Amino acid sequence: MSACGLDFGTSNTTVGIGSPAGPALVTLEDGKVTIPSAIFYAVDGSTAVGREAIRRYVDGYDGRLMRSLKSVLGSSLIEEVTQLGKHRLRFREVIAGFLGTVKRRAEAEAGHELREVVHGRPVFFVDDNPAGDRQAEESLRKIAEKIGFAEISFQYEPIAAALDYEQQVRQEELALIADIGGGTSDFSIVRLSPERHRKSDRTDDILANDGVRIGGTDFDRQLSLNTLMPMLGHKSAMKRAGLIVPGAYFHDLATWSSINRMYRSTTLRDIREIRREAAEPALIDRLLKVVESRRGHTIAMEVEAAKIALSDEASARLDLSWIESGLGVDIDRRGLAGHTLSLAERIAARVATCLAQAGLTAAAIDAVFLTGGSTRLAHVRDAITAAVPAARIVEGDTFGSVGTGLAIEAGRRYGA
């Protein structure tokens, strides 16, 4: 089979192919089928992707780490040029570099070239912007062509997740598919059954599709801005009465795709000027230490790790002793839910939109299929399931359901 399903995610990426035993995800790094969507450009000209990219950054290699690459699709950033080691590259070339490596690794595991691809895509790359949405898909298509795919098509990520779930369905049902990923939250209502699973055209079975550009990285940002950034001067006062330290720097530092902006020489110069006028310069000194040592991604990773820990633990500590001895903050599930409640509510509101599209009441939904890393957040999960309280809750493969479903779709479209 020369076709594959490619789930290029904001946080993680998978590739699925057909096999005699059925669709399967291929190993991409360190014996795992997932690879973090990250690339590291070293000053010496070498590059690394995935976990190795993150390891190099953590180990202090001289260079730049890029994460949340998918988030630039549909924005003006896709054509921007950025300095990476000795080279200047457009963000579309950065994405091509990452996905090209993923494709080669998948081919090595499969033992043959992959020529056709079904790319996963969110229901909306960009909210309320059809032109931006079309631009995002077209950018991804051109990147797929550049890295060597001859046939390229797309499928909505929640529909792909539905195809994976349908493999275990034993009778006809209406399912709400909730795919809450790193960058977007997507929902579909689909009619599923063993008989329908064998159909090549499922158009009539898809009753609703909707989504919103909110995902795990947005939860990271809000958690960071509300718990960590105040210790670096966020919302602190300037000497001049009524003024506070400009917030743009903290928003960039809390946003995966914008962290590298903080390392510009002009930004560092501006922050030093702000320190001179700040009422609490010691706080800005902490910010300067982070920026001067280019440790913005360290902060982002520590915030993300704390959020993930709260999926299983009642509390977590953000240890910032590397900035200043004894510095840190404790957070708990209640605090996380409080800081990100509006995000969870906006995600759950899409369920009502889907029900209205499909002309259904909540009682008509038989099952809710949950996939994507952010479904592990208790308040997100509760907000979704509360919208369809009578439905059975089904756990998907958190990071693999979409890729497996895309492999199923690739087999159907390309004749395997």
pLDDT tens track of the chain, all 416 residues? 799 999 999 999 999 998 777 899 999 999 999 999 999 999 888 999 999 999 999 998 888 899 988 988 988 778 878 777 677 888 999 999 999 999 999 999 999 999 999 999 999 998 888 998 999 999 999 999 999 999 999 999 999 999 999 999 999 999 999 999 999 999 999 999 999 998 888 889 999 999 999 999 999 999 999 999 999 999 999 999 999 999 999 999 999 888 988 988 899 999 999 999 999 999 999 999 999 999 999 999 999 999 999 999 999 999 999 999 999 999 999 999 999 999 999 999 999 999 999 999 999 999 999 999 999 999 999 999 999 999 999 999 999 999 999 999 999 999 75
Alpha-carbon distances of 318 from 157, 302, 306, 313, 327, rounded to whole Å: 33, 7, 7, 14, 9
- Per residue in 384-398, pLDDT (tens digit) is 999 999 999 999 999
Residues 337 and 316: their CA atoms lie apart, in Å, by 14
Q: Cα dihedral angle (319, 320, 322, 326), rounded to 10 degrees?
A: -80
If one counts every other C-beta atom within 10 angstroms of the C-beta of residue 237, the result is: 15
Residues 143 and 235: their CA atoms lie apart, in Å, by 40
Q: Is 332 strand, coil or helix?
A: strand
Order of all β-strands in the sheet with 185-192 = 206-212, 185-192, 173-180, 367-371, 392-395
Residues 138 and 130: their CA atoms lie apart, in Å, by 12
How deeply is 240 buried, as exposed, middle or buried, from its count of CB atoms within 10 A (0-12, 13-18, 19+)?
Answer: exposed
List beta partners, residue 71. none
Q: Following DSSP, what letter does each residue of 231-272 receive, concatenated?
A: GGTTTPBBSSTT-B--SHHHHHHTSGGGGGGGGSHHHHHHHH
Please name the helix (run of DSSP H) or strand (run of DSSP E) that holds residue 322, with its range, or none: none
Q: Is 399 strand, coil or helix?
A: coil
- Per residue in 73-123, pLDDT (tens digit) is 988 778 878 777 677 888 999 999 999 999 999 999 999 999 999 999 999
Please name the helix (run of DSSP H) or strand (run of DSSP E) that holds residue 398, with its range, or none: none
